[in-house]
Amino acid sequence: MAKVTVDTGTCVGCGLCEQMCPDVFKVEGDGLAHVKAQECKSCNLADVAGQCPVSAIKVS
């Protein structure tokens, strides 16, 4: 199964990942995206990672 991480030192809290896949990503009270779940049946997480403007999302 894919392992999804957000580098919170790099994330700028734009919210794009949460918009694209709210099942996996959530921008928390600290203003940074956090990973809630490791998979989503309807999203391509590699695609979400590719859209992050600062490349903070890694899918391995």
Residues at the site binding ligand SF4, with contacts judged by CB under 6 A: 6, 11-17, 25, 27, 33, 52-54, 56-57
Q: Which amino acid, residue 24?
A: V
Beta carbon nearer to ligand SF4, 15 or 22: 15
Q: CB of residue 22 vs ligand SF4: minimum separation in angstroms? A: 11
Beta carbon nearer to ligand SF4, 2 or 12: 12
What b-and-e string marks burial along 5-32, b requiring 16 or more CB atoms within 10 Å of the CB?
ebeeeebeeeebbbebbeebbbbeeeeb
